[in-house]
Amino acid sequence: MRDSNQPAWNTVWEDSSLGLVDLKLESQPDTDKLSPVIARGKLIRTLKNAYSGELGAINAYTGHRKSVSDPAEKMMIYRIELEEIYHRERVGEILSILGEAPSVPQDRTMGWIGKTLGYLCSLSGWFAPMYGAGLLESRNIKEYEDAAEYALVAGYVEFLDDLLTMAEVEWEHEKFFREKCRSHFLYHWFPKWQTPPARETIRAPFIGIEYPEGLLSSTMNAEILVLCSATRKGIQCCWEGDFR
Ligand SMILES: [Fe+2]
Ligand SMILES: [Fe+2]
């Protein structure tokens, strides 16, 4: 269980050069006080939010990928997009195992928000989409960490590895976008989200708990590597082809 004295790192804003500080704190899930039934309800709600959030991210990254001109950035955003597709599929499967279905209205709304953001990427310049993506990814880490804690309390240890893998992948996404933002002069003028703690801290609260290996990590990594290397060949041969 996470230490209740630990700060809610991803919602505390660092002091920016403008002196802006937003201290709006999201509460940590106090899982010590949760019954398995309540934890199950919170797990389902978190997964439904994540499922629709992933669709928003997929649509936004499609537009973001098309808006950048640097081949390395394009490739990395494509990889992130693929990882979000795998996340959404797995979250949908977990919901189905729990006897639940995603929220159709929520899915539709997030899909449209993502499409709109993706379209705006081509109009808003390089920095804004990188900044927005980094901010959102920092929140995605916490979403999957929370889901893992709820799953543990609710007795679904079989989902732990996949939920923690998704939190780790979101950690990598946040790092990529934060480092991109840091390379731009506008970064110094924008409020900063707090840098997540080390990647290892994601699994640290679960050390000592025996949970089975998940399905996501090996299949996702193997299949995405094949897709990305195939696309890389496409980029070298015909950069202006289908993959834009
Ligand atoms: Fe994701
Ligand atoms: Fe992500």
Interval 165-204: pLDDT, tens: 999 999 999 999 999 999 999 999 999 998 999 999 999 9
Residue 71 placed within a domain: yes
Residue 182 placed within a domain: yes
Separation of 50 CA from ligand 1 center, angstroms?
8
Separation of 136 CA from ligand 2 center, angstroms?
8
Helix, strand and coil content of the chain, in percent to the nearest 5, comes to: 70, 0, 30
What's phi and psi for 198, nearest 5 deg? -50, 150
Question: What is the CATH classification number for the domain harbouring 231?
Answer: 1.20.1260.10
**Distance of alpha carbon 241 from alpha carbon 244, whole angstroms:** 7
Separation of 219 CA from ligand 2 center, angstroms?
17
Residue 146 placed within a domain: yes
The model's pTM is: 0.83
Number of domains in the chain: 1
Residue 233 placed within a domain: yes
- Cβ pair 227, 82 in contact under 8 A: yes
Ligand showing the shortest atom-to-Cα distance for residue 87 = 1
Give per-residue pLDDT as tens, 150-163.
Answer: 999 999 999 999 99
Nearest in space to 46 (alpha carbons), one of 205, 222, 54, 65: 54
Q: Which domain holds residue 118?
A: 34-237
Ligand showing the shortest atom-to-Cα distance for residue 88 = 1
Separation of 118 CA from ligand 2 center, angstroms?
15
